Amino acid sequence: MRKKQKIMLVRILAAAALLIAMNFVPAQGWIRFVLYLIPYLIIGYDILWKAIKGIKNGQVFDECFLMAVATVGAIALALYEKSGDYKEAIAVMLFYQVGEWFQSYAVGKSRRNISDLMDIRPDYANVELDGRLEKVDPDEVEIGSMIIVQPGEKVPIDGVIVEGDSTLNTSALTGESLPRDAKPGDDIISGCINMTGVLRVRTTREFGESTVSRILDLVENASSRKSKSEDFISKFARVYTPAVCYAALALAFLPPLVRMIVLGLPAGWETWIYRALTFLVISCPCALVISIPLSFFAGIGGASNAGVLVKGSNYLETLSKTRTVVFDKTGTLTQGVFEVNGIHHNEIEDQKLLEYAALAESASSHPISKSLKKAYGKEIDRTRVTDIREISGNGVTALVDGVEVAAGNDKLMDHLGIPYRSCHSVGTIIHMAVNGQYAGHIVISDIVKPRAKEAVRMLKRAGVRKTVMLTGDAKKVADQVAKDLGIDTVYSELLPADKVEKVEALLKEQPEKEQLAFVGDGINDAPVLRRADIGIAMGAMGSDAAIEAADVVLMDDDPMQIAKAIRISRKCLGIVYQNIVFAIGIKLICLFLGAIGIANMWLAIFADVGVMILAVLNAIRALFVKKL
C-alpha cells in the first residue's frame, strides 16, 4: 500500500469514527454544525478543493463538482430546516472516498503486474576494462563492448556470448519458468536473469535499442491507444455530466414553480432541492469513467505478466473479435529447425552434392540454408564461392570452385529450363543442378512444434471459425502439416508478396464485425503482420521486426500462447460490457426513483459508490489469467 493510500485510509477511519461518535454527543444548533463540519472536512477537503480548481480552470462538470454541490447543498438544507441532520452529507463524501480508495488500490494492483515486468530493467552493466570490472550505467555501454554477467544478475544489453555456459531465467519476458541453456556463440537478450555460470558477452546493440528497452516502452505506452469502448465512455461522460447537472437544476426549480404558479399549491422547495441533490449524487459517472479504463489496464497488465504484450486496449478489443487466424508455417507451427534426412543423386557422391549445396547457400541466413551448412559439418570457405545470385522464392545460383551450381525448388529448375526428377518423400525438396545438368535433390524436413496441434484445437474452442496456413513450402509438405494439425485451409508455394495478397483476399471474405489475425515470426512477415486486422508475432524475443510490426507480441514460441491471448482479450471485453450494462442500468433506475422522490440520499450513495466499488472489483478480475 502506497503512502497516499495509507493517509486516505486513516482519513476514512477517522471520519467514520467521528461520525459514529457524534450520535452520542448531545450538542445542538451551531455547535452541532461545527462538530459535524470536522469529519466532513477531514474526509472531503480535497474534493472541495478540486471542485474549486475545476471551476477556476473552466472544467466545471466532473465528479468532484457533483459531490461538492450535493454535499454542501445537503448541509445547507439541514441548516435551513434546523434539523441538524448532517449525517447524509458526510456519509456521501465518506463513501465516495471509500470508492476512490478501492479504485486506487485496484489500479495499484494492476500496475504491480506491469511493475513486475519493469523489474527486468537492469540497474548497471559490468564492463571489462583493463582486466577489471567496472559497474556503469547501461546507457553508457557502446556496441562491441565486453560485459560480464555474473550469476543472479540481469542481462543488461543484447549481445553474443563469447565465453561461459549457463542457464537463463526468461520468466519475466515469456511468463514461463522453464530455464534456457546458453553457450558460447548464442545470442542473449536483455531482461533475462543469469542463473548459474559467469558469461562474457559482446554487446550488439545500445541499451536504448535493446530488447528490454523496447518491451518496456511498448508496455508503458499501451494505455495511450484507447479502444472504441474507452472512447465511447470518455465522450459519454463529457455529454452526460453537464446534462444531469442541468436536469438536477430543472428538478430543483421547475416542479416548485409549477406547483406555486400553475396549481396554486405550496412550492415545497426543500423537498425538490433535496431530490435534486439526491439526483446529483446518483448521477455521478464514477463507475463508468473509472472501471472501463481500469478493466483494459488490468487486462493489459495480466496479459503482460503471462508473456503476452498488447500494444493498446484497441488491439485487445480487436483481438476479442478474431474469428479467422492465419498462420505462417515455419517458426510458427513448426520449429523452423530443418534437418537433412535424404540425399538422392544421379552420378555424384552424397557428400559432394551436399558440399555444393552448402557452399551455394553460404550467404543466406534462411533456416534451410542453415540446415544444409549444418549437415555439411565443415567450415564454409567463402573464397570458393563467387557470383551468388538469389532468386526470391526460388533458390540460388553460384559458382563453386568455378563450377555452375543451382540449388532451389521446382520453380528454379523451370526458370533455368532444367528437367528434374520428382520425389515421393515428404519434406522440402532442394533440387541441385551442376553445370546446367540435373544432379539430384536433397530432402529437408521441418519439425512440427509439440503443442501446435493442441493450439489449433484450443483456438477452435475459443470461437475461431477458420484457421489458414500460408507457406512457401511445397504443396505436398504443406498439405501433410495442415492435415496433421487440423488446419482448415492451406496455401502453399507462396512468394512473400503472395502472402499479402492471400491475406487481403481473406479480409474481403470476412463478415463485417469479425476480425482476422495473422500469426508470424515477425522477421520476414512484417508486411502481412501490418496488413491483417491484428498482427501477432510469436517467439519474438529480440526481434525488432516483431516488436515494430505486430500489434500483439507473444514472448514465447509456444503456439498455445495464441489461444491464451484471445482468451485474455475476450475475458477483458466481457468484463467491460458487464460493467457498462451494470453501471448504466443501476444509474437509470436510481435516477428515476430519485426524481419521483422514492430514492433518498442513502440509496444515492449505493447508486454511486456501491456501483463503483462493485465495478472496480469486477475489473480486477481481468488481472488473473488461467494457465492453459
497: cell is 508478396
> Above pLDDT 90, what percent of the chain?
13
194: closest CA among 144, 155, 137, 230? 155
Given a cut of 60, whether residue 464 has pLDDT beyond it is yes
Instruction: Give the number of C-alpha atoms closer than 13 A to the C-alpha of residue 157, restricted to the C-beta side.
Output: 28
Residue 390 is part of a domain; what is its CATH number? 3.40.1110.10
152: closest CA among 202, 210, 201, 197? 197
> Would 528 be classed as within a structural domain?
yes
Residue 9 sits in the same domain as residue 102: yes
> Would 566 be classed as within a structural domain?
no
> Would 628 be classed as within a structural domain?
no
Residue 331 is part of a domain; what is its CATH number? 3.40.50.1000
> Would 560 be classed as within a structural domain?
no
Query: Of 328, 446, 558, 608, which one is the catalytic site residue?
Result: 328
Mark whether 137 is an active-site residue: no
pLDDT level of residue 226 (50, 70, 90 thresholds) = low
pLDDT level of residue 517 (50, 70, 90 thresholds) = very high
Q: Using the 3D structure, point to which of 445, 468, 496 is the last residue of a domain.
A: 445
Residue 239 sits in the same domain as residue 102: yes
Note the Cα 156 to chain centre separation in Å. Answer: 23
Measured distance CA(18)–CA(65) in Å, rounded: 25
469: closest CA among 557, 459, 461, 567? 459
Residue 253 sits in the same domain as residue 399: no
Residue 64 sits in the same domain as residue 84: yes
Which residue type sits at 355? E
Indicate yes or no: pTM above 0.85.
no
Mean pLDDT of the chain: 81
What's the number of domains the chain is made of? 4
Q: Are 167 and 151 in contact (CB under 8 A)?
A: no
339: cell is 534437418
Residue 478 sits in the same domain as residue 597: no
Strands 180-182, 146-149: parallel, antiparallel or unpaired by DSSP?
A: unpaired
Q: For residue 176, what are the domain limits?
A: 125-156+158-204
The reported pLDDT for the residue numbered 627 is: 63
The reported pLDDT for the residue numbered 453 is: 92
Q: Which residues of 170-191 are buried (b: 16+ CB within 10 A; e: fewer)?
A: bbbbbbbeebbebeeeeebbbb
pLDDT level of residue 84 (50, 70, 90 thresholds) = low
Q: Using the 3D structure, point to which of 445, 464, 486 is the last residue of a domain.
A: 445
Residue 469 sits in the same domain as residue 330: yes
Residue 321 sits in the same domain as residue 372: no
Q: Are 464 and 566 in contact (CB under 8 A)?
A: yes
Q: Which of 545-549, 583-587, 599-603 has the highest mean pLDDT?
A: 583-587
pLDDT in tens, 3-51: 777 888 888 899 889 888 887 877 787 888 888 889 889 988 888 888 8
Lowest-confidence segment of 194-203, 226-235, 297-306, 492-501 by average pLDDT: 226-235
Residues 6+ apart with CB under 8 A from 183: 161, 165
Q: Are 517 and 525 in contact (CB under 8 A)?
A: no
> Would 55 be classed as within a structural domain?
yes
Residue 370 sits in the same domain as residue 503: no
The reported pLDDT for the residue numbered 580 is: 84
pLDDT level of residue 65 (50, 70, 90 thresholds) = confident
Measured distance CA(546)–CA(552) in Å, rounded: 9
Residue 243 sits in the same domain as residue 329: no
Measured distance CA(580)–CA(4) in Å, rounded: 29
Residue 402 sits in the same domain as residue 549: no
pLDDT level of residue 220 (50, 70, 90 thresholds) = low
The reported pLDDT for the residue numbered 1 is: 61
> Would 209 be classed as within a structural domain?
no
Q: Using the 3D structure, point to which of 498, 526, 555 is the last residue of a domain.
A: 555
Q: Average of pLDDT values for 349-366?
A: 85
- Specify the higher pLDDT residue, 457 or 91: 457
Residues in the chain: 628
Q: Are 408 and 431 in contact (CB under 8 A)?
A: yes
Q: Average of pLDDT values for 248-269?
A: 83
> Would 591 be classed as within a structural domain?
yes
> Would 47 be classed as within a structural domain?
yes
Residue 149 is part of a domain; what is its CATH number? 2.70.150.10
The reported pLDDT for the residue numbered 457 is: 94
Residue 181 sits in the same domain as residue 248: no
Residue 82 sits in the same domain as residue 229: yes
